[in-house]
Amino acid sequence: MRTLISGGAGFIGSHLCERFLKDGHEVIAVDNFITGSLENLDLLRQNPKFSFIGHDISQPLQVSGPIDNVLHFASPASPVDYLNYPIQTLKVGSLGTHVTLGIAKEKNARYLLASTSEVYGDPLEHPQKEEYWGNVNPIGLRGVYDEAKRFAEAMTMGYCRYHGVNTHIIRIFNTYGERMRLDDGRVLPNFMGQALRGEPLTIYGDGSQTRSFCYVSDLVEGICRLLKTDFHEPVNLGNPAEITIKQFADEILKLSGRSNDIVYKPLPQDDPKVRKPDITRAKNLLGWEPKIDRDAGLRQTMEFFKKKLGKS
């Protein structure tokens, strides 16, 4: 099997490269390092079945030889990143999706799109089922990411229905683990970095908003299972164990052994108040649900960040 992964040098993309290599695939990673890191691929580059293409997937790409699977994971994925790169985010969600779907069509390959829980916006339904159409501000600051992913889903379904491409869509809820960037602006690396540096933890809003955190190996397992199916509509992948941001800050402090202060700042525009996946579809279709509990996953992730900060 030969698998192409756009965004392969990113947090989730690099874990996917590792998993597919472990499963015996030849893996081709594509990345332009806007948010990815060559360091994420250090161990993988020693594998003769791994190859890397430095390329902006929003631009046309020709890949020689057969391809069995195309996974489109290229995109800035945190508020800091997509606010810094709004046009690139829109282009990789639209043009990048078009390019990768074209490769899948040409090669008669299975295709999987990494979508996001952000397609639900600031949801009026809780927990969020795949049938929910969302509550998104298309011209808000977050709209560059939300609408790019919503367009990507529509394009993917278009290629499935019109061209007969065997497509799959996952909606990723908050995922964490090793290889996250400390500066990516998401709540988990923010809290862990601040805790380990002895800085106050920053909570935006009053801390009552909720998130649900899924460890990266659980997400990767769900992706691999979905890719083997012939199911084409979106599937939520995430951990339904919901927690408030204030509770999460307390957990991080306890885990770090610190007693840092907590400071509160205004909630950013259109920041979701609640986020919890309904994973009934994933359970029934894939026999999948998360296995790694939050305490175990957070301990492994904190050890990774300690090494990054030289705190080990």
Residue 239's nearest CA partner among 287, 282, 199 is: 282
Mean pLDDT of 30-35: 97
- Counting Cβ atoms within 10 Å, is residue 296 exposed (0-12), middle (13-18) or buried (19+)? exposed
Over 70: is that where the pLDDT of 312 sits?
no
The proportion of the chain whose per-residue pLDDT surpasses 90, expressed as a percent, equals: 93
Q: Which two tokens stand for residue 2?
A: 């030969």
pLDDT at residue 8 tops 90: yes
Give CA–CA dist 57/15, Å, rounded.
19
Over the stretch 203-214, which tens digit does the pLDDT of each residue have? 999 999 999 999
Question: Beta-strand (E) ranges in the chain?
Answer: 2-6, 26-31, 50-54, 69-72, 110-116, 167-172, 175-176, 201-204, 210-212, 214-215, 234-237, 242-244, 262-265
CA 220 vs. chain centroid, Å, equals 10
Strands 242-244 vs 210-212: parallel, antiparallel or unpaired: antiparallel
Q: Is the peptide bond before 138 cis (omega within 30 degrees of 0)?
A: no
Is 145 catalytic? The answer is yes
For residue 271, pLDDT over 90 is answered with: no
- Mean pLDDT over 183-210 rounds to 93
Q: How far apart are CA 17 and CA 139, in angstroms?
A: 34
Beta carbons of 282 and 289 less than 8 angstroms apart: yes
* Structure tokens, 229: 């199916």
Q: Name the average pLDDT for the chain.
A: 96
On the question of pLDDT at 13 being above 60, the answer is yes
Strand order in the sheet with 69-72: 50-54, 26-31, 2-6, 69-72, 110-116, 167-172, 234-237
How much is the pTM? Answer: 0.96
Percent of the chain past pLDDT 70, that is, above it, reads 99
Predicted confidence (pLDDT) per residue in 68-88, tens digit:
999 999 999 998 999 999 999
Q: Greatest CA separation found in the chain?
A: 57
pLDDT tens for residues 216-243? 999 999 999 999 999 999 999 999 999 9
Out of 82, 85, 145, 215, the active site residue is 145
Which domains are delineated in the chain? 2-175+214-237 (3.40.50.720), 178-211+241-276+293-308 (3.90.25.10)
Provide the β-strand partners of residue 172.
Answer: 116, 237
